[in-house]
């Protein structure tokens, strides 16, 4: 799977980042682990899924800068 970095909170290092999966139109989100039990109970994630938290400003940048 080839990824292209679209937008991130920092230029170097590890921080919340949005990647495109080349050739699919899918996105991969790197963010902070959601460990709050009440929040996870609200989401009710199925097996094989996880939740991450990212800054709202980061997700707003992706459509404006990369998805047309």
**How is the chain split among helix, strand and coil, in percent rounded to 5?**
25, 30, 45
Q: In which band, very low, low, confident or very high, does the pLDDT at 11 lie, cut at 50, 70 and 90?
A: confident
Q: In which band, very low, low, confident or very high, does the pLDDT at 68 lie, cut at 50, 70 and 90?
A: low
Query: Domain limits at 40?
Result: 3-65
Tokens of 66: 């990369």
| pLDDT tens string 15-61 | 999 899 999 989 999 999 999 999 999 999 999 999 999 999 888 88
Contacts of residue 2, Cβ cutoff 8 Å, sequence gap at least 6: 21, 22, 23
Structural domain tally of the chain?
1
């Amino acid at each position: 799977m080839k990824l292209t970095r679209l937008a991130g909170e920092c230029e170097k290092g590890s921080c919340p980042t949005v990647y495109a999966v080349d050739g699919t139109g899918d996105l991969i989100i790197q963010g902070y682990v959601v460990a709050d039990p009440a929040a996870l109970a609200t989401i009710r994630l199925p097996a094989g899924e996880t939740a991450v938290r990212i800054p709202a400003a980061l997700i707003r940048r992706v459509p404006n800068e990369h998805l047309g």
